[in-house]
Amino acid sequence: MTVDARRLTACIRYPLSQFALDVKFEADPGVTVFFGTSGAGKTTALNCLAGLAKPASGEIALDGKMLFSARAATNVPVHLRNIGYLLQGLALFPHMTVSQNVAYGMADRADALQSVSEILERFRIAHLADRHPREISGGERQRVALARALVRQPRLLLLDEPMSALDLPTKQHIMDDLHEWNQGARRIPILYVTHDRAEVFSLAERVLTIERGKIVADGTPTEVLYAPRTAAMAQLAGFENIFDAQVIETRAELGTATCRINDSELKLESPLSSHSGEPIKIGIRAGDILLSKQQIEGVSARNRLRGELVVLREGAEFVEADVNCSGVTFIVHITRGAMRELALQPGQFVWLIFKTHSCLILR
């Protein structure tokens, strides 16, 4: 079997309470991230792939073998699909030791003992072999669950927000080990579900964003997260400022469009668009806005707005400032150093400066 044959093709329709999951995609070996808000249908999609849920219609094929087909009435049972699945919460067997957990899926295989000890070494959990899941840390449990799924050499690996409870360095370590495992001849498709954009950037080779049961974007992390197309995706992708707006004038000769925000007097210069007259949304990242105590002339940025500093909130990594410009509140992220140097205080008047390019027009 060639590596090319290790491809997942899926077309799934499954009715949910609010909407229907309706997705069609392929996944090649490597990490593909399913990205979307909670309740978008991501877990249901994984359940259908694993065989834990039965789609109303569609087809699922892996390695050229049909796992589910509504038309042909094919539905390979879960335990015969050989798909590794890390469920939310990991579902380690509490009454078994780490090595019993990992060996669980190897009951009928001749090379069980050797494979188990090899994978325990590879995922750095050999020293925990005789402990029970309740006696080890979250990161260690994560490794056990991965080892348990991978020791069977699955043809596809599904991960459902497996690391939401872990800190970033631990996550990164575990994912490095997973990437290292997924090399060479045994390289398989890995589908990773998350709503955390930091995970998308650190893990994904490709991102599929799911919204209300539909795939709305498909591309590299940068393509998808820096150019989100809807307000919900923008919020998820980290656009702190999202405003209702209306294009009141397009100026092709200048390469800009003027938008009115929230029916207020405030006008922004945004990139040219064909949405003239229609209600739109504009997204601006809080980190893309420059904050100045003086009015600045002679810069290229088209948007220079005066506003009152309302609140300063100190976070772990940066300071978040709320600035009120003609009744519209902007969220601005600055460093603690900048806050000290400018001696910023609530009540002061400041200038917000940002490029047209930073104003993303959303559907």
Partner 1 sequence: MAGQRLLLAIRYNDEHLHEVVDDRIWLHVCSCHENACRSGKVSEALWLSIRLAAVVSVLLLLVGAPIAYWIAFSHRRWKFLVEAVVALPIVLPPTVLGFYLLLLMGSNGPLGQLWMRWTGHPLAFTFSALVIGSVIYSLPFAVQPFASAFSAVDPALLAAAATLGASRWRRFRTITLPLSRAGVLSGFGLSFAHTLGEFGVVLMLGGNIEGATRTASIAIFDNVQALDYASANHDALVLLAISFVLLTAIYRLNRRSLHNWSLR
d(CA 189, CA 206): 11
d(CA 123, CA 170): 13
Is residue 46 exposed (0-12), middle (13-18) or buried (19+ Cβ within 10 Å)? buried
| Nearer to partner 1 (CB atom), residue 51 or residue 139 | 51
Question: Judged by CB under 8 A, which of 4, 17, 71, 134 binds partner 1?
Answer: 134
User: Among residue numbers 322 through 341, which ones bind partner 1 (CB under 8 A)?
Assistant: none
| Nearer to partner 1 (CB atom), residue 20 or residue 78 | 78
**Shortest spacing between CB 26 and partner 1, in angstroms:** 21
**Shortest spacing between CB 91 and partner 1, in angstroms:** 4
The number of residues that bind partner 1 (CB under 8 A) is 29
Beta bridge partners of 173: none
**Shortest spacing between CB 19 and partner 1, in angstroms:** 24
Task: Please tell me whether residue 34 binds partner 1 under the rule CB under 8 A.
Answer: no
**Shortest spacing between CB 180 and partner 1, in angstroms:** 22
Question: Judged by CB under 8 A, which of 6, 42, 143, 152 binds partner 1?
Answer: 152
**Which residues are CB-neighbours of 307 under 8 A, at least 6 positions away?**
323, 324, 325, 326, 330, 349, 350, 351, 352
Q: Is the dihedral of CA 86, 88, 90, 91 positive or negative?
A: negative
| Nearer to partner 1 (CB atom), residue 166 or residue 353 | 166
Question: Given strand 241-251, what is the order of strands in its sheet?
Answer: 267-271, 256-261, 241-251, 279-284, 360-362
**Shortest spacing between CB 86 and partner 1, in angstroms:** 8
**Shortest spacing between CB 31 and partner 1, in angstroms:** 19
**Most distant pair of Cα atoms in the chain: their distance:** 76
User: Among residue numbers 50 through 79, which ones bind partner 1 (CB under 8 A)?
Assistant: 50-52, 77-79
E strand or H helix at 202 = helix 197-203
| Nearer to partner 1 (CB atom), residue 118 or residue 244 | 118
Judged by CB under 8 A, which stretch of 147-155, 223-231, 307-315, 333-341 contacts partner 1? 147-155
Beta bridge partners of 319: 314, 334
**Shortest spacing between CB 72 and partner 1, in angstroms:** 22
Beta bridge partners of 328: 325
**Shortest spacing between CB 59 and partner 1, in angstroms:** 20
Task: Please tell me whether residue 133 binds partner 1 under the rule CB under 8 A.
Answer: yes
d(CA 99, CA 125): 9
Q: Decide: helix, strand or coil at residue 40.
A: coil
| Nearer to partner 1 (CB atom), residue 68 or residue 85 | 85
**Shortest spacing between CB 35 and partner 1, in angstroms:** 23
**Is residue 83 within 8 Å of residue 56, measured between CB atoms?**
no
Query: Residue with structure tokens 């579900």?
Result: 193
Task: Please tell me whether residue 110 binds partner 1 under the rule CB under 8 A.
Answer: no
E strand or H helix at 12 = strand 8-15
User: Among residue numbers 80 through 109, which ones bind partner 1 (CB under 8 A)?
Assistant: 80-85, 87-89, 91-95, 104-105, 107-108
Residues forming the site for partner 1 (CB under 8 A): 50-52, 77-85, 87-89, 91-95, 104-105, 107-108, 133-134, 148-149, 152
